[in-house]
Amino acid sequence: MARVVCVFQPTWNTLFGIILIIGLCCYSVLALLHQSLTTTLKPWPAQVLRRIVEVNENPEVHGLIVQLPLDSINPMDTEKVTNAVAPEKDVDGLTSINAGKLSRGDLQDCFIPCTPKGCMKLISQTDQRISLHAVASVNFFSDTAIAHSFTPKTIGRLAREVGLFSEEVEHYGTTRAKVRLEALNRLKTQPDGKYLVVTGITPTPLGEGTTTTTLGLAQALGAHLHVNSFACVRQPSQGSNFGVKGGAVGGGYSQVIPMEEVSLHLTSDTQAVMAASSLVVDTINARVLSESTQSDKVIKNNIIFLSGSVASEMMAVLALSTSLGDMTRRLARMVVAYSRKGKPVTTEDLGISGVLATLMRDAVKPSLMQTMEGTPVFVHTCPLSDIAQGNSSILADQIALKLVGPEGFVVTEAEGGAELGMEKFFDIKCRSSGLHPDVVVMVATVHGLKIHGGGPALVCLSNVCLQNLTLLENGCSHLKRQLENARAFGLPVIVAINTFSTDTDAELGLVCEQAKLAGALEAVPCSHWAEGGAGAVALGQAVQRAAEIPHQMNFLYDLEMPIDDKIRAIAKSMYGAGDVELLPQAQQKVALFSKQGLGNLPICMAKTHLSLSHDPERKGVPTGFTLPIRDIHANLGAGFLYPLVGTVSTGAVTHL
């Protein structure tokens, strides 16, 4: 019998394989043991989720609390576990759905967490009146925190969604862009959409929220009523009020994001205007220095001085231009100085009009951004309503109207009260653009009307925040006056009541009643600050109904009227003045401008935005006063005359 002998000679590879096999066997045994132990002692995540589902489906159980932190030797996804709880049984309010509702103040069909509910119970036992809506609407989060909780779409995606081609968009990072004017040429045969202008009562220290309402309404139309919508707003000023209005355009859940970009340099339009303004000043200084070395005769005839605020007029020019060529022509005819003989000196005379147009060639393009709900926004130009026209740019409105199409809506803002920004919107901006709005939205607040009714102007630590129907009814006379101003232009008017947590149902009902008696088509309370577009859906529906009403837009005055008659028409019709007093210098300017052929220009009143009158301390409805006009200047680039009312200043005339 043959015997085979196998000689086994181990190698390092063989030993490693044996060790690996033994290890795997041991691991399998330990895993089985571990599973047995944890099944007995601690549930697996899948078992926890199954148990939550069982409780969700059990009609005998009305609420469920997941005790945090989750105590398990197994890794568990806390968010997944808490979100597995049915929202209607979520006692702690930890699910994403309920947390979102609580942050917006929507407490209709969700549990109120025990801690705030306990606080409310304690407060209800005191003498202080409070409601669930009031508690939920308190500003627990700053505008900054709210803005940072949203991630914007990339600007490329947004541009594609609104119908822009890639070659029509100039990117500034990932969340903002300039839109080239070639887009307007491509879309020139596209019918315009509906055109809405948002104005308001005369502003008070607490703020009325015209910008927030503009954005909230655009969100309601686009994200909730599913029609194409676009908002057009001004860029925040970085002047003496920088930071006072808040960190961005709008506020709460109705603002433009990213807020830092829109509030700071954006796409450098303001910097371009300031650079162009500085060039004018430097050129005049150089001219004066050059002529100071010439003969006395030349100096006597030609030395010049700066005229008014160049930067303000350049921003007005930017906002009123309808093309790059139009802007270039407007800049060329700007009068920036006068000779000692009184001859006007333009930028064309100084030989710098082409350079100014070059400095501002990118600033003429609207800047595209978005709201917190992804609604597109043009943020473009910032002329002030007290010394200029106070509206966003014509080009932004024109492009937006083409992009939304005939069934869409463009919501644009007129800064300040209706007697100021809205009047200039119609009589100056609409004359330049040729666009006629379909609806006026008038923004009012309960606290603002109380101030106009004689209440204190300090923030909510006074009686202005307590229910006072008498004070409010007195203040509604101011709303009536502003509604008359809006209706003078022949359009349907919707009142948007921008609600605050301190407003009561009785107060809101009173404002709605008074607004309708004063001629408003509808009056709608809105909560877009706390709820975003969802809080302005009723306003959006009211606007849709109003836009279908046949209408004919009117201007307040004919351009052929004499200068002083146009001033008087504005003062009496919009401000409630008894008469106008033209001081001697203003009378001289009326005669001069009429002689120069400038009498057919529109009027841009330089007046305080804090009162219907020339006195910022006079709230409510001042009547019978005499409006003093101390001087009149000509902004030939912007294309209007601006009378100086009372003590308002646009920048002193400086002798050089």
Average pLDDT for the chain: 84
- CA 25 – CA 599 distance, rounded (Å): 101
The pTM of this model reads 0.77
- Angle at the Cα of 228 (from 417 to 521), degrees rounded to 5? 45
pLDDT at 537 over 60: yes
- CA 598 – CA 603 distance, rounded (Å): 11
Q: How confident is the model at residue 427 (pLDDT cuts 50, 70, 90)?
A: very high
- CA 377 – CA 218 distance, rounded (Å): 9
| Chain mean position to CA 375 | 12
Read off the pLDDT of residues 71-98 as tens digits, 9 standing for 90 and up: 666 677 777 888 888 887 887 777 767 7
- Kindly state the average pLDDT of the residues 523-547: 97
- CA 285 – CA 628 distance, rounded (Å): 34
Tokens 């149902």, residue located: 505
Q: What is the pLDDT of residue 34?
A: 45
- CA 238 – CA 241 distance, rounded (Å): 7
Verify cis geometry, omega within 30 degrees of 0, for the bond prior to 258.
yes
pLDDT at 284 over 80: yes
What letter represents residue 483's amino acid?
Answer: L
Q: What is the pLDDT of residue 387?
A: 86
3 state SS of 441:
strand
Q: What is the residue-wise DSSP string for 342-377?
A: --EEEHHHHT-HHHHHHHTTTTTSPEEEEETTS-EE
3 state SS of 491:
coil
pLDDT at 38 over 50: no
From the list 27, 642, 612, 647, the residue with the least C-alpha distance to 335 is 642
How many CA atoms are closer than 13 Å to the CA of 252, on its beta-carbon side? 29
- Number of H helices and E strands in the chain, helices first, is 27, 19
What domains sit in the chain, N to C, each tagged with a CATH number?
A: 3-125 (3.40.50.10860), 144-267+365-548 (3.40.50.300), 269-360 (3.30.1510.10), 563-645 (3.10.410.10)
- Kindly state the average pLDDT of the residues 156-182: 95
Q: How confident is the model at residue 655 (pLDDT cuts 50, 70, 90)?
A: very low
Both tokens of 541, joined, read 């529906």
From the list 528, 6, 470, the residue with the least C-alpha distance to 215 is 528
Cβ distance 611 to 204 under 8 Å?
no
- For residues 241-280, one letter each, b for 16 or more C-beta atoms within 10 angstroms of the residue's C-beta and e for the rest, the string is eeeeebbbbbbbbbbbbbbebbbeebbbbbebbbebbebb
Beta sheet of 335-339, edge-to-edge order: 344-346, 335-339, 304-306, 654-655
Q: What is the DSSP letter of 194?
A: E
- Kindly state the average pLDDT of the residues 596-620: 95
SS3 labels along 539-592: HHHHHHHHHCCCCCCCCCCCCCCCHHHHHHHHHHHHHCCCEEEECHHHHHHHHH
Read off the pLDDT of residues 297-308 as tens digits, 9 standing for 90 and up: 554 455 655 555
Cβ distance 593 to 632 under 8 Å?
yes
Read off the pLDDT of residues 331-379 as tens digits, 9 standing for 90 and up: 999 998 888 777 888 999 999 999 999 999 999 999 999 999 999 999 9
Tokens 């680039």, residue located: 637
Both tokens of 490, joined, read 């022949």
pLDDT at 461 over 50: no
- CA 656 – CA 654 distance, rounded (Å): 6
Both tokens of 16, joined, read 């490693």
Least confident residue range of 263-272, 395-404, 432-441: 263-272
**First CA to last CA distance, the chain:** 129
- CA 9 – CA 238 distance, rounded (Å): 86
Cβ distance 246 to 210 under 8 Å?
no
Q: What is the pLDDT of residue 107?
A: 59
Distances (CA, A) of 313 to 94, 277, 332, 355, 647: 54, 9, 12, 17, 19
Q: What is the pLDDT of residue 136?
A: 36
